């Protein structure tokens, strides 16, 4: 009888009704929850952490957001006072509806939100199983309906284990690395993919704060170059002082049809890339590397009393490198880190926040050979037809300005103005170039347990790229105008 009573008590503690508004702190704040990350980025507490590795857990996010900003996003994240044994089968439900007159398009940095001409419906449901303070299982389903197909899929799912200062995660997820809203190496533009991930949840203290994230990804799909490749990536960030963050990223795309894979003991050699440019070497992979820094401009607060965060960030990446540890470059040293990037891509930006405003200006350039270099010369750094790095792919010049304004804690408006040119480099090789001017408006209103959003984007295009693959382009001499009209309704339990 005692055993039966204990078992009933355990079962009762596990199956809690979905009406309770809490979440396990180990859960990730999904990368497409942009309002949560913007409010973290705009908070004074962000200077205490390395910001440029995402997703972050609730545990690593919420304590650093200003109290008044927490009121704005509390509905997005639920509260975090529960980490015991329980199940929340439905945590949230979201419906998104978009209409567009463009044959193929997408919403950037929204984890694979591809649109077809006409009406597009997306439904999302998620939930989780909390297994104490160190283990959580999360799942998210997605249904899609448009003119081309109807699909029901397991969109995101992972089992995450916390130990000491680290977490180990296995499942389906995506990451966004780098200081900007747009990332050139790994971003949250494409849908989640199968991966194993080891990263810090608390920083390692040694002459500052260190964080890292290691990802082993599996891009399971049929491709036009080499099907089913894998990727291996490492990002390390260092915060020597509160006003400076420095980061470095190394990524290798390898494997797939006709290419070797590697044992665990070979991973360091792959990441170091000592034989990356040696023809016919087993370790000749598709390698990328980059470094970046963020400087907080605190001195500006002396002249602008309402300013909370002001920062400048810069990222440089290459699809190939020259380095003193590589066989073909031994004895060479390039200032300042001993390496030189080839086939470069850049991100640079300014970010400002006040109690009611968030501003960002960002510029990105990507060279002609980025994402198409070497063995994977067709689809390369893509997944399911979308870029794993910069949303607009290779050979681009892209910049934008955006501003989010809070009328109150429940109502905000964001507008964005931008310009995209593709191709932007080696113009003598391409007779036509596309120039795309766009403006968008996003309104967000929160009412009780509901989050309502309306979205409008208008694009004016001089010459048009008819190839939807981000690594390729086919420009035709036609000027076109496009729109996207969208509405989203989310219910948080």
| Ordered per-residue pLDDT tens for the chain, 493 residues | 444 444 444 434 444 433 334 567 889 999 999 999 999 999 988 999 999 999 999 888 888 888 888 888 877 765 555 667 888 899 899 999 999 999 999 999 999 999 999 999 999 999 999 888 889 999 999 999 999 989 999 999 999 999 999 999 999 999 999 999 998 999 999 999 999 999 999 999 999 999 999 999 999 999 988 899 999 999 999 999 999 999 999 998 888 888 888 888 888 877 777 667 666 677 778 888 899 999 999 999 989 989 999 999 999 998 877 665 565 666 666 666 667 777 889 999 999 999 999 999 999 999 998 888 778 888 889 999 999 999 999 999 999 999 999 999 999 999 999 999 999 998 888 889 999 999 999 999 999 889 999 999 999 999 999 999 999 999 999 999 999 999 999 998 8
Q: Which residue has the tokens 């899929």?
A: 153
Radius of gyration of the chain (CA): 23
CB-based contacts of 368: which residues, under 8 Å, 6+ apart?
Answer: 343, 394, 395, 423, 425, 426, 429
Architecture of domain 19-492: Beta Barrel (2.40)
Q: How far is CA 147 from CA 86, 121, 140, 178, 191, in A?
A: 40, 10, 24, 36, 20
Smallest CA-to-CA distance from 192 within 207, 211, 171, 177 is with 171
Distance CA 198, CA 319 (A): 24
Please check whether residue 440 is in contact with residue 416, taking contact to mean a CB–CB distance below 8 angstroms: yes
Tokens representing 58 are: 């609730």
Buried b (16+ CB within 10 A) or exposed e, 1-10: eeeeeeeeee
Residue 215, CA atoms < 13 Å, CB-side half-sphere? 31
pLDDT score of 231: 92
Q: Is 188 left (phi over 0), alpha (psi -120 to 50) or beta?
A: alpha
Distance CA 419, CA 183 (A): 17
Smallest CA-to-CA distance from 244 within 209, 290, 213 is with 209
- For the chain, the residue count is 493
CB-based contacts of 208: which residues, under 8 Å, 6+ apart?
Answer: 238, 239, 240, 241
Strand boundaries in 226-302, DSSP class E? 229-241, 244-255, 286-296
Q: Which residue has the tokens 């193929």?
A: 104
Domain ranges of the chain: 19-492
Please check whether residue 425 is in contact with residue 389, taking contact to mean a CB–CB distance below 8 angstroms: no
């Amino acid at each position: 009888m005692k055993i039966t009573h204990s078992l009933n008590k355990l079962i009762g503690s596990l199956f809690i009704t979905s009406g309770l508004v809490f979440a396990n702190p180990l859960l990730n704040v999904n990368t497409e929850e942009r309002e949560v990350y913007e409010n973290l980025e705009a908070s004074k507490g962000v200077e205490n952490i390395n910001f440029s590795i995402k997703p972050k857990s609730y545990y690593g996010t919420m304590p650093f957001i200003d109290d008044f900003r927490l009121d704005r996003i509390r509905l997005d994240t639920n509260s975090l006072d529960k980490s015991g044994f329980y199940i929340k089968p439905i945590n949230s439900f979201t419906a998104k509806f978009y209409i567009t007159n463009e044959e193929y398009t997408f919403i950037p940095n929204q984890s694979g939100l591809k649109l077809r001409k006409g009406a597009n419906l997306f439904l999302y449901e998620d939930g989780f199983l909390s297994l104490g303070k160190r283990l959580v299982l999360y799942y998210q389903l997605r249904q899609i309906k448009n003119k081309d197909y109807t699909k029901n899929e397991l969109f995101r799912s992972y089992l995450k284990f916390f130990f000491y200062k680290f977490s180990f995660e296995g499942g389906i997820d995506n990451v966004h690395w780098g200081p900007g809203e747009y990332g050139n190496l790994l971003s949250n533009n494409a849908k989640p993919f199968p991966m194993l991930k080891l990263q810090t949840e608390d920083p390692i203290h040694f002459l500052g704060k260190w964080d890292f994230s290691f990802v082993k990804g599996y891009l399971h799909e049929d491709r036009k170059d080499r099907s089913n490749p894998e990727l291996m990536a490492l990002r390390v960030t260092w915060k020597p002082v509160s006003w400076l963050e420095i980061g470095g990223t190394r990524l290798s795309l390898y494997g797939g049809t006709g290419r070797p894979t590697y044992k665990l003991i070979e991973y360091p050699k792959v990441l170091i890339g000592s034989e990356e440019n040696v023809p016919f070497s087993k370790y000749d992979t598709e390698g990328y590397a980059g470094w970046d820094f963020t400087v907080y401009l605190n001195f500006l607060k002396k002249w602008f009393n309402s300013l909370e965060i002001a920062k400048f960030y810069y990222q440089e990446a290459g699809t190939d490198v020259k380095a003193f540890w590589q066989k073909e470059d031994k004895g060479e040293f390039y200032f300042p880190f001993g390496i030189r990037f080839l086939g470069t891509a850049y991100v640079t930006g300014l970010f400002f926040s006040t109690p009611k405003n968030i501003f960002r200006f960002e510029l990105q350039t990507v060279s002609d050979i980025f994402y198409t270099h070497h063995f994977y010369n067709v689809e390369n750094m893509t997944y399911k037809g979308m870029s794993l790095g910069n949303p607009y792919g290779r050979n681009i010049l892209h910049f934008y300005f955006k501003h989010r304004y809070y009328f109150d804690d429940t109502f905000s408006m964001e507008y964005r103005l931008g310009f995209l040119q593709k191709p932007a480099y080696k113009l003598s090789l391409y007779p036509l170039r596309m120039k795309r001017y766009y403006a968008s408006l996003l309104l967000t209103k929160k009412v009780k347990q509901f989050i309502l959003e309306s979205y409008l984007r208008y694009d004016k295009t001089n010459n048009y790229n008819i190839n939807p693959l981000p690594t390729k382009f086919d420009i035709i001499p036609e000027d076109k105008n496009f729109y996207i009209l969208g509405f989203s309704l989310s219910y948080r339990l």
